[in-house]
Structure 1
């Protein structure tokens, strides 16, 4: 009986993968998908649209045209149709329906027809210094301070509120420091329903005091 050792099994040969190998095909698909997804993410991150922003504060009733706007490129993932696009024709004869702050993107809902704005501009003489927070677009309250009656025994009337939260349209003379100088004229937008009481207070002896609301102009 032969005792010769059995021959060792032949080493398995490594075969070069071919296109028929499903593992190679899956790997190629994964790499291609990763490259495509990365390219899409980079292009989406850099995609911007031109939108109009207010070039200065816009107040209710003010005509809005290209002279009062500036173009900014912004990335808006959704809802770009809600804003005024700079690559589209600007609507004609539109006015601001509310205050649009300087640099704020102009929403389409902030614009409309002049007939939709029920306010009137009223000039209020300023005979005392006011905070520099009182500026175009800020909200103020108007108080009436009757003239002190003649005679030492005559009791002075208490100041009374006229209207609250009216929007400042314009300040004729703004101080460079912390206050608006005496002698300035403030133009405020008064609702039509409140117009009689404000005009009456301006017509009688006394003064109308402008009081900025908390946070106005901040």
Structure 2
């Protein structure tokens, strides 16, 4: 009896594998502008560049303005010795002085403390000056406690005489608040009042000049009381 030939399992598996379609290698495609991921990437790069440029511009946006080297008093004529040029970053640099005026408008019209940036509104011509320097006689002990730039209150005690001719003084009244001392007499001399006492120059608002002069001319006692920086008016 003859036996029919049989196929091996290995042969059958090979035939099945050969019957499957062979995989095709994928081809790389060049990115297109229509690709959403490419567009998003480009936008992110542009955004980062713009943000960096704006940040650098912000930190490099410094300007040169003038700073008071010492306390500037009303009536002072601004000079190069009074200021220091500094570089700062400001939101409104046009509000501050960048150079010393040379057209006659360089007079200080309000007090500028040492180290403060000099605002344009603090500088003007003589017509813009709202205060006048008045010499006030004080005792030597009082003058010794004051210096240029000190803030003082001006107190006045009015003089009065009774029927017997006895002179006395009324209770002191505060005439001026927080006025600046423009100058004090030196130990070797300087300004002095009609009584021979040393005189301290104080910057008096124009509308108060007449009242102060009247008090001094009538024989009233004028006292300058220093005001500390943190005290309430």
Q: TM-score, normalised by structure 1?
A: 0.71
Matches within 5 A, 1:62-211: 62-76=76-90, 78-86=91-99, 90-94=101-105, 95-127=107-139, 128-129=141-142, 135-145=147-157, 157-172=170-185, 185-203=199-217, 205=219, 207-211=221-225
Cα pair 2:68 2:82 within 8 Å, conserved = yes
- Indicate the RMSD between aligned Cα atoms, in angstroms: 3.9
Deviation of 1:66 after TM superposition, in Å, equals 2.4
Give the Cα–Cα distance (whole angstroms) in 2 for the partners of residues 154 and 111 of structure 1: 46
Gaps of 5+ in 2: 1-11, 188-196
Which fold has the larger relative contact order, with Cα–Cα distance below 8 Å and residues 6 or more apart in sequence?
1
CA 155–201 in structure 1, closer or farther in 2 if over 3 Å, else same: closer
Give the Cα–Cα distance (whole angstroms) in 1 for the partners of residues 174 and 108 of structure 2: 27
Give the Cα–Cα distance (whole angstroms) in 1 for the partners of residues 224 and 123 of structure 2: 28
Deviation of 1:109 after TM superposition, in Å, equals 1.6
Deviation of 1:184 after TM superposition, in Å, equals 6.2
1:53 matched to 2:64? The reply is no
Gaps of 5+ in 1: 175-182
Deviations 1:16-45 (A, max 9, x none): 653657323431342243134213312421
Give the Cα–Cα distance (whole angstroms) in 1 for the partners of residues 102 and 219 of structure 2: 45
CA 14–217 in structure 1, closer or farther in 2 if over 3 Å, else same: farther
Provide the residue aligned with 2:192 in structure 1. none
- When the two structures are aligned, how many residues end up with a matched partner? 204
> What SS is found at the alignment partner of 2:208?
helix
Of structures 1 and 2, the larger Rg is shown by: 2
Cα pair 2:143 2:198 within 8 Å, conserved = no
Cα pair 2:143 2:185 within 8 Å, conserved = no
